[in-house]
Amino acid sequence: MGKIEEPLPFLRVMLRHEMHHLWPKRSYGKIQDYRFLYHDLSDPVFVRWNPIHRTTFKHRLSSRQTPLPSIDVFVCTADRKMEPPMMVINTVLSVLAYDYPPEKLNVYLSDDDGGLSELMFYALLEASAFAKYWLPFCKKFKVNQTSPDAYFSTIQQSNELSNDMKHTHVIKKLYHEMQDRIETANRLGRVSNETRDQLQKGFDEWKFNTTSSDHQAIIQILIDGSFGSTSLDVEGQPIPTLVYVAREKRSEYNHNFKAGALNALIRVSATISNSPIILTVDCDVYSNNSESVRDAVCCFMDEDNGNDIAYVQFPQSSRNLTKYDLYASCFRLEMGGMDANGGPCYIGGGCFLRRNALELSTMRPLNQNGVPKTRETKEKACVGIMYGFPVEDMVTGLAIQCRGWKSVYLNTEQKGFVGVAPTTLLDVLVQHTRWSEGQFSTLLSKFCPFLYGIKRIPFRLQMSYTLYFLWAPNCLPVLAYVTIPQLCLLKEIPLFPKISSLWILPFLYVIISQYMYSLGEFVSCGGTVKGWWNEWLFKRTTSYFVAFLETLLRQFGFSELRFMVTPKVVDKDVLQRYKKEVMEFGSHSRMFVALGSIAMLNLFGLFSSFISFAEKRVFDELALQTGLCVVVAMIKLPVYDGLFVRTDEGKIPTSVSCTLIVLPMLACMLVLYY
C-alpha cells in the first residue's frame, strides 16, 4: 500500500517521546502493505503526537490478477432549499466520472425531500443526459477535478483552457444550458408538463398526494450501467449506473434522519448492484481527485491486511476558506494520530466502507499484533448505520472497530473530497453544536469507548475518541475562566499570585507553553493564527455549552433528538463580507447572547480594574486577572465591532444587543450588592 513519512521532527524533539511507527515491508511487483508495531500500554501515546501518512501505488493494481471490486456510491440530500439541486448534481457528476471501470461503478442519490422533490428528480435526469458528454470529456483530457462547477471555475480563475479549446467551449455551453433549465424549474417551483412528457414517465410518482414526510417509496434507474447494457456515452463507451431513491416515509414513524436514508440505500443497492464497497458522500462535497477510488481499493486489496480493513476514511476539506480561515474550518491532525492508535473514526462523508463490515454478526478475529481478541457478542444481527445519535457515523465506526475490524486514514497529496465551509458564524456554531452534542451523548451511552470498547479496541484508541467526545464538557472550564475572574475584579478579589511573587512563574510557564504549543500545532497542520485565535473562545462558550445542556436535558427526557441541516445557499452580501474576513452575525440567536454577554462582562471587568488601579493602586494583586480580561476582550473585538460600530446587515441585531448588555449589568450588580 505504500510508505510512511516520519512524524514532524519538531514534535519528536519537543515531546521527547520515541514515536512508534507503521513500517512498510519490502515487496516486489505487488501492492505494498503495512506492519503494525504495537507498543505496550505503559508507553505514553497521545492522539496528536504520532500522526502517520500513507501513500498508495495505484499503478500496481493493473498487475493484479484479482478483478477490481465494484463500488456503490451513496449521495444524500435532505432539503432542496438548503441544498440546491445544482450543487447536488455537481457532486453526482464528480463521482460518476471516477477513473474506474464504469460497469463497476454505481451511483445512488437519496432524496429525503421525497414528496416535494420532483425538482431534484428532474435535475438528476438532466445530469444523466449531460453525463454522456461530461464523462468522455474528463477521460479524454484527463480531468482530475471532475465536478463541472469546480473545473470551470478553476480554468476561469487561472485564465487557462483545457488542451482542446473547442471541446472545452462545447462542454461548458452544454453545462450552462443544463444549469439554466434546472435553476429555472427550481425558481418556478415546478416542472412543466411538456418537460415531463419529453423526459420520462417517472414523474407519475408525484401525481399522488405526497408530502416530504408522508409518501411512497420512489426508485428510478436513470442509467443502467450493468454489463451488457445499452446505456452508452456519446462515444459509445459504457457509463456507470445512476439511481434515484426517495425512501418511503410515514408521518407516524420515525425516519431516523440521515442514518435512515443511508440504510435505505444499503437495502436498495443490495438488490440492484450489491457492490462489496460503499462510498458515502455528502451532497455538498464533490470528488476532487478522480483516482481516489483507486487509492481506497489499494487499501482493501492489500494481500496481508486488506481483508481486515472495514473502511478507508479521507479527510474533509473546504474550497471556500478565506485567507486567514475566519471561522477555523480547517481540520486538524487528530485523524492521522488515531490511525496510529488503532484506526480513525468514521466521519460520514468521504469514506469507503466494506459492505459486510456493517453486519453486526460479522466479526474479524484478532490474535496478532498484541491486540486482545474480540469477544463474541450476543447482539442481534442487522445491517446498516446505527440509529439514535446525532453523529450516527462516529458511533457506527466505533461499533465496527469493536467487532475487530481495522480502519485507515488516507490523506492523499491531492485532496480526495472538497466541500463548502459555512460562511456565517451562526452556521458554524449550529454545525458544531450538532457534532459536539452527538459526541457527548455517545460518551454517556452504552457506546462509551471505555465501556463498549473494553477488550475490544486498544486503550489508546479509547482515549483518542475522548478527544471528540469531550468537546461539550470542555465548555465548563472555559466558561469559568471568562466569567469568574471578571466578576471577582468587581470586588477586587485576587485569584492569582501577585505579579511580584515567584509563584507567578509556574502560572506564566503553563500559560505560555500550552498556548504556544497549541498555536504551533494548529499552524503546522494547515491552520492560521486567526483561525486558532477565534476557535479558542467562540465555539467553546456557545456551541459546546448549548450541546452540553441539550445532551443533559435529553438524558433526563426533557428534550428530543434533532437533526439540523446546515444551509448551503449564501446571500451575495454575506459572501462578500465573508471574503473580506468580516464576521457575520445578523441573526437572532441565543448563542449570540452568550457571546455578547461574555464580551460585555469582560469589558466591565476591565473598567473596574482600571478604576481600582487608579484609586487603590492594587496592580500587583490584580495584574494577571486583568491580563486575562484583556485577552478575552481582544478575542471579542469582532463582537464589539458588530455591537457598536457596524451598520451593515451582518451586525448584531438590536434586540440581541439590548439583551446582551442588560444581562451582564444585572450580574455585575448582584456581585457588587452581595
Q: Which residues are catalytic?
A: 112, 393
Query: Half-sphere exposure (CA, 13 Å, Cβ side) for 138?
Result: 30
Q: Which single residue is written with the C-alpha cell 438528476?
A: 124
DSSP 38: P
C-alpha span between 182 and 122 (Å, rounded): 8
H helix or E strand, kind and range, residue 146 = none
Helix ranges (DSSP H) in 158-284:
165-188, 193-199, 257-272
H helix or E strand, kind and range, residue 286 = strand 286-287
Say if residues 338 and 461 touch (Cβ distance below 8 Å).
yes
Say if residues 61 and 31 touch (Cβ distance below 8 Å).
yes
Q: Which three cell numbers stand for residue 604?
A: 466591565
Interior CA angle at 308 toward 306 and 313, to 5°?
A: 75
Say if residues 454 and 461 touch (Cβ distance below 8 Å).
no
Say if residues 316 and 349 touch (Cβ distance below 8 Å).
yes
Q: In the chain, count of helices (H) and strands (E)? A: 23, 13
C-alpha span between 103 and 241 (Å, rounded): 8
**Closest Cα to residue 665, out of 454, 490, 408, 406?**
490
Say if residues 401 and 461 touch (Cβ distance below 8 Å).
yes
3-class SS letters over 305-371: CHHHEEEEECCCEECCCCCCCCCCCCCCCHHHHHHHHCCCCCCCCCEEEEHHHHECCCCCCCCCCCC
Question: What would you report as the CA-atom Rg of the chain, rounded to the nearest whole angstrom?
Answer: 27
Say if residues 494 and 621 touch (Cβ distance below 8 Å).
yes
Q: Which single residue is written with the C-alpha cell 451598520?
A: 647
Those residues whose C-beta lies under 8 Å from the C-beta of residue 416, and which sit 6 or more positions away, are 287, 288, 289, 292, 295, 314, 315, 350, 410
C-alpha span between 233 and 80 (Å, rounded): 28
Those residues whose C-beta lies under 8 Å from the C-beta of residue 402, and which sit 6 or more positions away, are 374, 452, 453, 456, 457
Q: Which three cell numbers stand for residue 28?
A: 516486489
C-alpha span between 343 and 364 (Å, rounded): 14
Those residues whose C-beta lies under 8 Å from the C-beta of residue 71, and which sit 6 or more positions away, are 98, 100, 104, 105, 106, 275, 277, 278, 279, 293, 352
Interior CA angle at 121 toward 319 and 566, to 5°?
A: 40
